[in-house]
Structure 1
Amino acid sequence: MSYKLPRNSDGWVEPHDHPHVEGDHGVIRKVSSFYVVDDPKVEGGKRISTGLMSGSTSGSKGMSVDLQNMIEVAGVDPYIFVTTPKWIGSVRLVAKDVRNLDFMVGQDPIDGNDYHGEVWGTFSRARQKSLLRHSEWFVEIDGVKLCAD
């Protein structure tokens, strides 16, 4: 099950839909306290910022994620893998839902994380909100809502 990752001349992984990330596979986005915002309109007064669902300003311009199936196939507990003192929670999307929003989901291993992936596409505010609406808690942060809606 080998797949050669497409790379540009600078060595960055190019946006691609990885054939081994199937439609029902989980795509996990880690959450730091930076993305927990005050919102008096939601029960409990805190929610996740839409900015969680944004692409990087460097590299391949994708949104960093962890690929749940690859973690599990390696025999690693994904809940433990994605939770650290910096990453206090995480949300899960389903690859087919991400792709149905016209994003690509691919693998982009980084030092120390062979299960790292990217979501590539245009991260307009409306599309960020759509991604957040399609997500569910993977590791929930107590007292924090996912969406204001």
Structure 2
Amino acid sequence: MLSQPPRDNAGVVNPHDHGEILGDDVIIRRVNPAEHVYFDENHQVNRLSTKVMQPSSEPKGGMSIDHEPTLVEMGIDPRAFVTSPPMTASVWLRAGAAREIGLQVGYDPIDPHNMAHCEVWGPIERPNRFSKGQQRKLLATSEWYVELPGVVVCLADSGQDQ
């Protein structure tokens, strides 16, 4: 199990980069088809929007993810765990991919409901903000974990987003 994260006086987790979350660790982002899928007119395909890689707007909000190694350590089937409606699909990427573009990956357990919950935060001065470029890069390095049939994760030649 990951060590406890830094918290403020109210017990809220502070944005941080958790050293025990390794660069090769798989992090899972849940997908809500109603919010994260759109029809790309230019390519005539359903695909994920960069909105799937958007952090919460709360002051210390990040992008909610699940840490696959922690789920496995807990004896939980990750694919079953990350598909509770309305989040019926998910994508994965490596924690190092987020760090390579200036983001922080930290532990933020939701006791007792999700002890594998983590967050991806922006830089310390603006943890709840990712640039559109960072969102695109996160999406470009993602692959289906639990696939949404008929939906493309990312188009390599597409500069358009929704």
Shorter-chain TM range is over 0.9
Structure 2 length-normalised TM:
0.85
SS in 2 for 1:93: strand
Structure 1: gaps of 5 or more residues? none
Structure 1 length-normalised TM:
0.92
1:9-45 Cα offsets, whole Å, 9 max, x none, are 23211111112211111110000011011112235x2
2:42 corresponds to which letter in structure 1?
K
1:53-83 Cα offsets, whole Å, 9 max, x none, are 1110125221000011100111111001101
Quick check: 1:142 aligned with 2:149?
yes
Percent identity over paired residues? 42
- Is the CA contact 1:137–1:146 (under 8 Å) kept in the aligned structure 2? yes
Give the aligned partner of residue 108 of structure 1: 108
Give the aligned partner of residue 86 of structure 1: 86
CA distance in 1, matches of 2:154, 2:4: 37
1:16 corresponds to which letter in structure 2?
H
1:147 corresponds to which letter in structure 2?
C
Give the aligned partner of residue 67 of structure 1: 67
CA distance in 2, matches of 1:144, 1:28: 17
2:47 corresponds to which letter in structure 1?
R
Structure 2: gaps of 5 or more residues? 123-128
CA distance in 2, matches of 1:98, 1:85: 26
CA distance in 1, matches of 2:40, 2:119: 29
Q: Tell me how far 1:124 sits from its aligned partner.
A: 0.9
1:130 corresponds to which letter in structure 2?
K
Mapping of residues 36-51 of structure 1, within 5 Å: 36-43=37-44, 45-51=45-51
- Is the CA contact 1:93–1:134 (under 8 Å) kept in the aligned structure 2? yes
CA distance in 2, matches of 1:113, 1:2: 13
Give the aligned partner of residue 138 of structure 2: 131
Give the aligned partner of residue 95 of structure 1: 95
Query: Over the residues paired in the alignment, what is the CA RMSD in angstroms?
Result: 1.5
1:38 corresponds to which letter in structure 2?
F
1:52 corresponds to which letter in structure 2?
V
